[in-house]
A = this chain, B = another copy of it.
Amino acid sequence: MVTITDISKACGVSRATVSKALNGASDVSPETTKRVRETAAALGYLPNATARALKMGRSYNVGVLFSDTTGGGISHEYFSRILESVKAEAERLGYDITFISKDLGRLSMDYYEHAKYRSCDGVVIASADFQDPAVIRLATSEIPTVTLDYSFDSRSSILSDNVRGMEELVRFVHAKGHRKIAFIHGELTSVTQKRLASFRRTCAELGIPVPAEYVRPAVYHDPRSSGLATRALLALEERPTCILFPDDLSYLGGMSELERNGLSVPKDMSVAGYDGIPLSQVLRPRLTTYQQGAEQMGKEAARLLIEQIEKPDTWIPQQITVEGRLLEGSTVIDIG
């Protein structure tokens, strides 16, 4: 490993001067700077991020928390798209990313401890159980954080517009003449509560009744549970004419249940998903769904976090809402 000491010897200057020259300090002569940089390049010098971090108290490394409650977190398209864009934006700004987790080998630590252990300059909290004390500890610590789809007090967050998304879906379905709309929702997280409230409110505004049996619980990203919920809806005396699923993937469970009952989409039953993952648009018929701006959310999260890291004095907590858009698809038939 070639260090600044090697360069200093090769150039016949002190290590301090080398360091300054490499970092473009103004108090070193242009000639020396040039000479130092050239030999650095010639020797194949690379700064050592570890030593730098130790000295400066800044690691240029941000943690990403992806504790998937439902199992398989990263492998859900929505989250992997967010991860991908967080990564891209962080790297663009000169930061590496490291995963934060509980229990590293024999070391047993919580998220906060893990982040400190790795000297993360900040953490993006995505896909976590926000009731978990370990998550709360991290989010209320002195470590800069940005959360996705959840807001902690006095902290920055990126929110997908669940209220608007659900409202748009309901209004779209309503405009197609539907009055019996069922909603299969995911676990009762804050996201779910927003969608549920928006569903009920929009229906109320449109004068659509929402029988209790039209609202059924399921599990996000779990086609099986949505399939069961679909079966329950089909067993009702008064079937809905349209079913809203918790997410696009879950619709697949409903889809097979519908087929098993000889119902074809959208002729016999209209449906809509949520997320707008690529899969939804490659299905036939194309799924009606609300596409969340995952890429933009990840990008904004990284941007906001790093802004907070680099300008802690002028920083104020911010809630950024990222709007998505309705993908009309062809799974909602006009029964007007």
User: Interface of A with B (CB < 8 Å)?
Assistant: 1, 46-51, 53-54, 59, 61, 72-75, 77, 80-81, 83-84, 87, 91-99, 101, 103-107, 109, 113, 116-119, 223, 249, 252-253, 255-256, 259, 279, 282-284
The distance in angstroms between the C-alpha atoms of A255 and B283, with both chains bound, is 8
Contacts of A116 in B (CB 8 A): 1, 46
Choose among B47, B101, B119, B223 the residue that contacts A49 (Cβ–Cβ < 8 A): B119
Task: Give the shortest distance, in Å, between A61 (CB) and chain B (any CB).
Answer: 8
- Between-chain CB contacts (< 8 Å), 16 pairs: A48-B54, A48-B117, A49-B118, A49-B119, A50-B50, A50-B118, A74-B80, A75-B84, A91-B99, A91-B103, A91-B104, A91-B105, A94-B105, A249-B282, A256-B282, A259-B284
Q: Which residues of B contact A113 (CB under 8 A)?
A: 46
Please name 7 further chain A to chain B contacts, defined as beta carbons within 8 Å, in addition to the given A50-B53, A75-B81, A80-B80, sorted by A numbering.
A72-B84, A74-B74, A77-B77, A91-B103, A94-B104, A96-B99, A97-B98
Residue ID in chain B nearest A87 by CB atoms:
B99
Q: Which residues of B contact A1 (CB under 8 A)?
A: 116
Asked if B282 and A252 sit within 8 Å, CB to CB, the answer is: yes
Contacts of A249 in B (CB 8 A): 279, 282
Residues of B contacting A279 with CB < 8 Å?
A: 249, 252, 279
Q: With A53-B50, A282-B256 given, is the CB distance from A93 to B117 under 8 Å?
A: no
Which one of B46, B92, B282, B283 contacts A105 once the chains associate, using CB atoms below 8 Å?
Answer: B92
C-alpha spacing A50/B60, complex, angstroms: 12
Known contacts: A49-B119, A80-B80, A87-B99. The answer to whether A223 contacts B75 by CB under 8 A is: no
Chain B residues within 8 Å of A93, by CB: 105
A1 to nearest B CB, angstroms? Answer: 8
Cross-chain contact of A96 among B98, B252, B253, B256 (Cβ < 8 A): B98
